[in-house]
Chain A
Amino acid sequence: MTVPFGRRLCEVAENTASGGYRIFSLLDRDGPAPEPGQFYMLAAKLGWGEAGGRPFLPRAISVAEAAPAKGGTRLDFLVESVGPGTDRLCQLEAGEGVWLAGPLGNSFSTPKQVNPDAAGAILVGGGVGIAPLAIWRRYLVERGIPLRVLLGFRNQEHSGGLDELFCAGGGLCPDVRLATEDGHAGHQGYVTDLLATMLTGDDATSAVVYSCGPPAMLEAVRARCAEHGVACELAMESPMACGFGACFGCAVPRSDGGYMRLCVDGPVVRGDAVAEVAHA
């Protein structure tokens, strides 16, 4: 099933607080189910570029979970309010309309697609970037692919989505380890500390690392994996106006020179295909 041409109006099913973030759900009546790692371009029907002002462009948001629902597919998005667009999305109310285009972009590859000798997956997420790893984790679990999940947060407020996306039966999923900068849960420090320890293990080279999070974290993951000869896929972010290859805004430097368009060549990119992940 191909992606419907253009944007379509969807209804907000639910919007709930999760730590300092929001998780909202849309009912998509027309699109195909998304693959893990894909994203949608989203804009509220009202209060978006009408009388001028911002937000004006749609926002690219990775899907955190998708499930068949009555009349279509339920799509869950984890959002942190960091500007006028995400702020408006955080305020969405049930029954409101949202313009949606997608699912767009590529998706994660299975460990064996990346490396025929790979035995399992290590998922490394940080902050709001845990979203695409949730749907990817479920996909891997359903296929019986061994995995470990390492998640990092600044503090409790920035661990939104953890309870809804990585917990089951009243507690953290058994394959999940936490790192927090303030030490309120798990290892005190960075999630990349946990990854570094794991990569020094004997069987590390038989794993494929999948990561999404802030640019500085992605760069640390990319560099660590390169150092240990472990393949990795990074779900990246870049300023994007259109999501379908039209605007050329989301340029990311390739390791072999020139730029890729993250919307059509990503958002999931092999670690060795990108130059250093730019971060402030």
Chain B
Amino acid sequence: MPDFCGIQLAHPVINASGTYDAIAARRVFGDALLEDFPFSAFVSKTITPEPRAGNEPRRIWETPAGMINSIGLPNKGLEDFLTEDLPQLAELPVPLIVSVMATNREAFGRLVAAVEACDEVAAIELNVSCPNVHSGLIVGEQPSETEALLEVLRPLTEKPLIVKLTPNVAAPEAVAVAAESGGADAVSLINTLKASAVDPPGRAPALAAGHGGLSGPAVRPIALQQLRAVTAVTEIPAIGMGGISSGADAAEFLALGASLVAVGTESFRDPRAGLRIANELETEVSEGSARL
């Protein structure tokens, strides 16, 4: 049983933030979702201080072995999340990790302080790396900004703080080191890679926002290298993700130093993918590490 920052988990497979709406899924699939919950911890969609409608459609585009999204963090905002969604997420049979994002340190601080007060929440993920919100500075692109943000947030909570790293920098390991220096308990990587596509008939950008973030098996080798670079220079645990679609894929991330793995795009293809991957991973592990 993995111990992640003091949280006991049944297996190493969780979801990537923003890729699974457990409340909507329960309405569709009923309580079978809870009986066979696909993840050992649930990471919420990113919550912002105020409600966000999200980006104008078109928002998604299929690519070879992947997809580009420009969703833009639609969410009901902190207040409604706490009153409407949190009680429902607390009914899930696994620990809850809440992802938060704000455009300045003060607002980030309000989010972290509010979530700190919720006993239902086991950990907090700081989304400093979304490629689809136009807030000017992306904190996670700069080590100094990341460290300064952590120094503000660290005293506000006793819960584990996870920093979601962007892959869209020359040296993500430098941001990871800064997060660790600032007091982060863990890092998670990768977020999506900035990407674009052209709609053939129109010969124009396929997504309304012009660009989005690439995910799916196409990004897996990049994710593995960034994970390798990060785990080589940090002591804190890393959650590895990027195109994981099988137990064998998950085993590769664990072999390169990930403490947990997260599944995102594959859940779109198979709503139970997390559970399948966890089962496949168990087989991988029990068959020995010779193949890794």
Name A residues whose Cβ lies closer than 8 Å to a Cβ of B: 2-7, 43, 49, 52-58, 85, 99, 101, 104, 238-242, 244-253, 257-259, 261, 264, 278, 280
B290: CB under 8 A from chain A? no
A-B pairs with beta carbons under 8 Å apart, 14 shown: A5-B271, A6-B29, A43-B269, A49-B269, A56-B62, A56-B269, A57-B67, A58-B269, A99-B270, A241-B62, A244-B29, A246-B21, A247-B69, A247-B71
Q: Which of B77-102 contact A (CB under 8 A)?
A: none
When A and B form their complex, which 9 residue pairs have the shortest distance between CB atoms, in order from nearest? A245-B24, A6-B272, A249-B60, A52-B65, A242-B268, A2-B30, A5-B32, A5-B29, A241-B268
- Are the CB atoms of B269 and A264 closer together than 8 Å? no
Q: How many interface contacts (CB-CB < 8 Å) are there between A and B? A: 131
- Are the CB atoms of A49 and B28 closer together than 8 Å? no
- Are the CB atoms of B28 and A264 closer together than 8 Å? yes
The chain B residue with its CB closest to the CB of A278 is: B57
- Excluding A3-B29, A43-B269, A249-B69, 12 further A-B contacts by CB distance (< 8 Å) are A6-B270, A49-B217, A49-B269, A52-B65, A52-B217, A54-B63, A54-B64, A58-B269, A242-B271, A248-B69, A250-B57, A251-B74
B198: CB under 8 A from chain A? no
Q: Given that A238-B57, A244-B28 are contacting pairs, would A57 and B269 also be in contact in the complex, using a CB cutoff of 8 Å?
A: yes
- Are the CB atoms of A259 and B64 closer together than 8 Å? no
B4: CB under 8 A from chain A? no
- Name the contact of B19 in the complex, choosing from A43, A247, A258 (C-beta under 8 A): A247
- Are the CB atoms of B65 and A56 closer together than 8 Å? yes
- Are the CB atoms of A259 and B57 closer together than 8 Å? yes
The chain A residue with its CB closest to the CB of B71 is: A248
Give CA–CA (A257, B58) in the complex, Å. 17
- Are the CB atoms of B67 and A241 closer together than 8 Å? yes
B256: CB under 8 A from chain A? no
Give CA–CA (A49, B265) in the complex, Å. 12
The chain B residue with its CB closest to the CB of A249 is: B60
Give CA–CA (A7, B18) in the complex, Å. 20
Residues of chain A with a CB closer than 8 A to B25's CB: 244-246
Query: Interface size (B, Cβ < 8 Å)?
Result: 42
Report whether over half of chain A's contact residues are helix, strand or loop; otherwise say mixed.
Answer: loop
- Are the CB atoms of B21 and A245 closer together than 8 Å? yes
- Name the contact of B57 in the complex, choosing from A56, A245, A252 (C-beta under 8 A): A252
Residues of chain A with a CB closer than 8 A to B32's CB: 2, 4-5
Residues of chain A with a CB closer than 8 A to B203's CB: none
Give CA–CA (A275, B171) in the complex, Å. 44
Q: A-facing mask of B251-292, CB < 8 A → 1, else 0?
A: 000000000000001011111100000000000000000000
Residues of chain A with a CB closer than 8 A to B62's CB: 54-57, 85, 241
- Are the CB atoms of B60 and A246 closer together than 8 Å? no
B222: CB under 8 A from chain A? no
Q: A-facing mask of B35-59, CB < 8 A → 1, else 0?
A: 0100000000000000001110111
In the complex, how many angstroms separate the beta carbon of B46 from the nearest chain A beta carbon?
A: 11
The chain B residue with its CB closest to the CB of A50 is: B65
Give CA–CA (A279, B67) in the complex, Å. 23
Residues of chain B with a CB closer than 8 A to A258's CB: 53
The chain B residue with its CB closest to the CB of A83 is: B62
Give CA–CA (A250, B74) in the complex, Å. 12
Give CA–CA (A242, B270) in the complex, Å. 8
B20: CB under 8 A from chain A? yes
B216: CB under 8 A from chain A? yes
- Name the contact of A248 in the complex, choosing from B66, B74, B217 (C-beta under 8 A): B74
In the complex, how many angstroms separate the beta carbon of B158 from the nearest chain A beta carbon?
A: 31
Residues of chain B with a CB closer than 8 A to A253's CB: 57
Residues of chain B with a CB closer than 8 A to A259's CB: 53-54, 57, 74
- Are the CB atoms of A264 and B24 closer together than 8 Å? yes
Give CA–CA (A245, B66) in the complex, Å. 19
Residues of chain A with a CB closer than 8 A to B270's CB: 6-7, 99, 101
Residues of chain B with a CB closer than 8 A to A261's CB: 24
- Are the CB atoms of A2 and B29 closer together than 8 Å? yes
The chain A residue with its CB closest to the CB of B28 is: A244
Give CA–CA (A55, B216) in the complex, Å. 13
- Are the CB atoms of B271 and A101 closer together than 8 Å? yes
Give CA–CA (A44, B269) in the complex, Å. 12
- Are the CB atoms of B71 and A5 closer together than 8 Å? no
Give CA–CA (A4, B21) in the complex, Å. 17
The chain A residue with its CB closest to the CB of B271 is: A6
B27: CB under 8 A from chain A? yes
- Are the CB atoms of A241 and B64 closer together than 8 Å? no
Give CA–CA (A166, B243) in the complex, Å. 44
Q: Given that A49-B65, A238-B57, A259-B53 are contacting pairs, would A245 and B28 also be in contact in the complex, using a CB cutoff of 8 Å?
A: yes
Give CA–CA (A280, B200) in the complex, Å. 14
- Are the CB atoms of B36 and A5 closer together than 8 Å? yes
- Are the CB atoms of B24 and A244 closer together than 8 Å? yes
Residues of chain B with a CB closer than 8 A to A55's CB: 62
- Are the CB atoms of B271 and A246 closer together than 8 Å? yes
B236: CB under 8 A from chain A? no
The chain A residue with its CB closest to the CB of B23 is: A245
